[in-house]
């Protein structure tokens, strides 16, 4: 079927169900940032292949909401499809809920909206249902895509998964399960019955808890599965073909029962006692499977909280991965500066840079894959915050102007994420130097911060923005996100951004530090390191008994010092930068050959006050 035929088939089912509209979000049942193609329902229905979007189909209209990253792509791919593009990044664009509430009030159809409950978290489904109820609109849980997407739908991935050694994870499965059970037992309200179960659907939480990894989702080494933890047993719901003899022996050794992936709904329905679930992650279909005889309790997942606090082994693994990553980036920037533009018979593109960086990363020990799609934004493309070049649609890169490179790697030792902005040649505009220096000063201010325990990320956010604010500049994305250990590049619950997040920063948390300035059509400048929370040394000036914290910088890669406006830098900032560059050379150079060492030494040369 083409797009128009798919829409017609969907509308026929909508009429059978008495629905005025049907919503198809770009989600999967596991609240994943990246998902397997089996669940790309929004893309299949619309013909739009962007990673982010929501489809709404009514009896006579079809609309797709997506953000500014995909406006150009959506405009091309939706042409002649009858689907209207809703530019959700525009100030005057109504949300999906706002549009539906306004549109459906004027129809003559029964006011019911259909959604697949597997594609909505419990919390989101509840919020939508309450909002629609205020407008006199009902919500019905129904999957209308499965009956019409019968040909060519990719299967749920069946790749084998593998045990992730405690030598990398730093803790055994037995220890993790015991701690989770202790946490859940303390939350059971009834003292007479200690029956309880925790439903886990987030793939990174399952992978972390059970020390397993897989190849099911691009950029994320997770295993498509569900998991239920009970007081006296635990069950992994996964397709049997994913389990080889080594995996089965591992599961048996750790007393982990196995049932088919789809069996989770019947299993949950048979549970009694207290059923814990994280409503931000668990999908509505799982929640609806809980028996009315059970006591369903919405809590923040204790796995999410523990996973975020890296143990000593995980942190040491991150440091190892950073050295490998630093070597790869050194080789890449040396190639870019000395070879990329010489003796070329064809132009260099952003896509070529992405492939070359992957080639250098793949040379690293224990490298598995990238941790997200590399952003190589040349000149004005760097100002598009989540720019994504493709082989067919990318800019030619010349030996002049600005390049923003945001990339990362998945190593068995850990996950990396780094952004560097470099000048490729030509005269550097003074505004570019000012912008770069405002960003660098804020970047340094955050990772050198000292704060009392209990401080939240939003309380530190202004440190990274203070210098650009004084110049009347700001940026719209978060300053920092949590990062997993050989798992998702983006993880919670901790972050650094303007929004109020009640989660305090704790020892072992890893976050990114990535302020930026973006000038449309000119350049984007972002500087990013990963940093981890550590105890701070006490000072004689301390007037309270508070425990003080600070950050250790994990990322190891030089900055482009040619872009620094030295007159804006303080002596302390220059001292920090010089000490950081000394450390970068010391830790990365043993992995390089002699020519690469000489290149890195030049890039890490000390700066003098007043230069």
pLDDT band at 386; cut points 50, 70, 90: confident
User: pLDDT at position 68, please?
Assistant: 74
The rounded distance, in Å, linking the Cα atoms of 299 and 276 is 7
pLDDT for 500-515, tens place per residue? 999 999 999 999 999 9
Query: Over 70: is that where the pLDDT of 372 sits?
Result: yes
H or E element that contains 409: strand 409-411
**Is 197 exposed, middle or buried, given 0-12, 13-18 or 19+ CB atoms closer than 10 A?**
buried
Q: What share of the chain is helix, strand, coil (3-state, %, to 5)?
A: 40, 20, 40
Task: Report how far apart, in Å, the C-alpha atoms of 194 and of each of 175, 206, 232 are.
Answer: 20, 23, 10
pLDDT band at 118; cut points 50, 70, 90: very high
The segment with the largest mean pLDDT, out of 99-108, 378-387, 560-569, is 560-569
- Stretch among 70-74, 103-107, 135-139, 168-172 having the lowest mean pLDDT: 103-107
The rounded distance, in Å, linking the Cα atoms of 184 and 159 is 32
User: pLDDT at position 52, please?
Assistant: 85
Task: Report how far apart, in Å, the C-alpha atoms of 111 and of each of 97, 133, 138 are.
Answer: 13, 10, 6
- Domains for the chain: give ranges and CATH numbers: 3-141 (3.40.350.10), 162-308 (3.40.350.10), 312-603 (3.90.230.10)
| Half-sphere exposure of residue 189: CA atoms within 13 angstroms, side-chain side | 8
Query: Over 80: is that where the pLDDT of 191 sits?
Result: no
Query: Over 50: is that where the pLDDT of 595 sits?
Result: yes
Give counts: helices (H), strands (E), the chain: 18, 30
User: pLDDT at position 433, please?
Assistant: 98
DSSP 281-341: TSBHHHHHHS-TTSEEEE---HHHHHHHS--HHHHHHHHHHHHHHHHHHHHHHHHHHHTTT
User: pLDDT at position 108, please?
Assistant: 47
- What average pLDDT does the segment 28-47 reach? 94
Cβ-proximal residues to 175 (8 Å cutoff; 6+ apart), any chain = none
User: pLDDT at position 345, please?
Assistant: 57
- What average pLDDT does the segment 279-290 reach? 97
User: pLDDT at position 50, please?
Assistant: 82
The rounded distance, in Å, linking the Cα atoms of 251 and 39 is 27
Q: Considering the chain, what is the average pLDDT of its residues?
A: 94
Positive or negative CA dihedral for 536, 538, 542, 543?
A: positive
- What average pLDDT does the segment 102-117 reach? 77
The rounded distance, in Å, linking the Cα atoms of 213 and 216 is 9
Residue 559's nearest CA partner among 533, 584, 593 is: 584
- What average pLDDT does the segment 484-501 reach? 95
Query: Over 90: is that where the pLDDT of 540 sits?
Result: no
The rounded distance, in Å, linking the Cα atoms of 87 and 177 is 45
The rounded distance, in Å, linking the Cα atoms of 536 and 534 is 6
- Stretch among 90-104, 180-194, 352-366, 368-382 having the lowest mean pLDDT: 180-194
pLDDT band at 223; cut points 50, 70, 90: very high
Query: Over 80: is that where the pLDDT of 545 sits?
Result: no
pTM for this predicted structure? 0.93
- What average pLDDT does the segment 122-126 reach? 96
- Is the N-terminal amide bond of 544 cis, ω within 30° of 0? no
pLDDT for 133-159, tens place per residue? 888 899 999 999 999 999 999 999 999
Query: Over 80: is that where the pLDDT of 72 sits?
Result: no
């Amino acid at each position: 079927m083409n797009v128009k035929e798919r829409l017609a088939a969907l509308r026929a089912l909508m009429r059978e169900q008495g629905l005025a509209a049907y919503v198809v979000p770009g989600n999967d049942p596991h609240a994943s940032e990246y998902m397997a193609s089996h669940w790309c329902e929004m893309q299949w229905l619309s013909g739009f292949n962007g990673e982010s979007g929501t489809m709404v189909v009514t009896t006579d209209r079809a609309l797709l909401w997506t953000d500014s990253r995909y406006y150009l792509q959506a405009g091309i791919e939706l042409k002649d499809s009858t689907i209207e593009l809703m530019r959700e990044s525009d100030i005057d664009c109504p949300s999906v809920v706002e549009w539906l509430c306004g549109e459906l009030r004027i129809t003559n159809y029964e006011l019911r909206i259909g959604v697949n409950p597997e594609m909505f978290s419990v919390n989101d489904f509840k919020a939508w249902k309450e909002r629609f109820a205020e407008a006199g609109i009902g919500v019905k849980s129904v999957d209308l895509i499965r009956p019409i997407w019968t040909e060519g739908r990719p299967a749920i991935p069946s790749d084998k998964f593998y045990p992730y050694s405690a030598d990398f994870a730093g803790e055994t499965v037995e220890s993790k399960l015991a701690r989770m059970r202790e946490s859940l037992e303390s939350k059971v309200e009834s003292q007479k019955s200690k029956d309880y179960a925790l439903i886990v659907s987030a793939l990174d939480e399952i992978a972390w808890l059970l020390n397993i990894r897989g190849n099911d989702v691009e950029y994320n080494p997770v295993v498509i599965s569900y998991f239920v933890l009970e007081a006296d047993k635990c069950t992994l719901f996964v397709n049997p073909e994913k389990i080889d003899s080594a995996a089965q022996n591992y599961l048996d050794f750790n007393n982990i029962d196995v049932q088919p992936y789809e069996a989770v709904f019947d299993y949950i329905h048979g549970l009694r006692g207290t059923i814990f679930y994280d409503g931000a992650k668990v999908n509505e279909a799982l929640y609806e499977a809980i028996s009315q005889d059970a006591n369903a309790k919405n809590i923040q997942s204790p796995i999410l909280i523990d996973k975020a606090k890296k143990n000593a082994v995980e942190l040491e693994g991150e440091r190892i991965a950073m050295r490998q990553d630093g070597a790869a980036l050194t080789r890449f920037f040396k190639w870019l500066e000395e070879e990329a533009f010489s003796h070329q018979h064809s132009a260099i593109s952003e896509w070529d840079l992405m492939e070359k960086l992957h080639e250098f990363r793949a040379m690293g020990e224990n490298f598995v894959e990238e941790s997200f799609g590399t952003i190589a934004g040349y000149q004005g493309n760097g100002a598009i915050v989540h720019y994504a070049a493709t082989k067919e649609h990318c800019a030619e890169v010349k030996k002049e102007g600005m390049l923003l490179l945001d990339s990362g790697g998945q190593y068995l030792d850990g996950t990396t994420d780094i952004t560097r902005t470099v000048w490729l040649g030509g005269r550097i505009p003074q505004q570019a130097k000012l912008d770069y220096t405002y960003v660098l000063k804020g970047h340094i201010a955050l990772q050198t911060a000292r704060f009392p325990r209990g401080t939240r990320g939003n309380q530190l956010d202004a440190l990274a923005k203070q210098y650009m604010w004084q110049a009347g500049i700001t940026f719209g994305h978060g300053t920092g996100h949590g990062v997993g250990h050989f798992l998702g590049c983006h993880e919670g619950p901790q972050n650094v951004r303007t929004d109020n997040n009640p989660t305090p920063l704790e020892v072992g948390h890893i976050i990114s530090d990535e302020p930026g300035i973006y000038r449309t059509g000119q350049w984007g400048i972002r500087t990013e390191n990963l940093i981890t929370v550590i105890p701070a040394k006490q000072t004689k000036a301390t007037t309270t008994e508070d425990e003080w914290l600070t950050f250790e910088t994990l990322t190891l890669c030089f900055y482009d010092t040619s872009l620094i406006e030295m007159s804006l830098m303080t002596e302390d900032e220059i001292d920090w930068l010089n000490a950081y560059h000394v450390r970068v050379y010391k830790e990365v150079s043993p992995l390089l050959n002699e020519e690469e060492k000489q290149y890195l030494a030049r890039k890490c040369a000390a700066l003098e006050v007043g230069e």
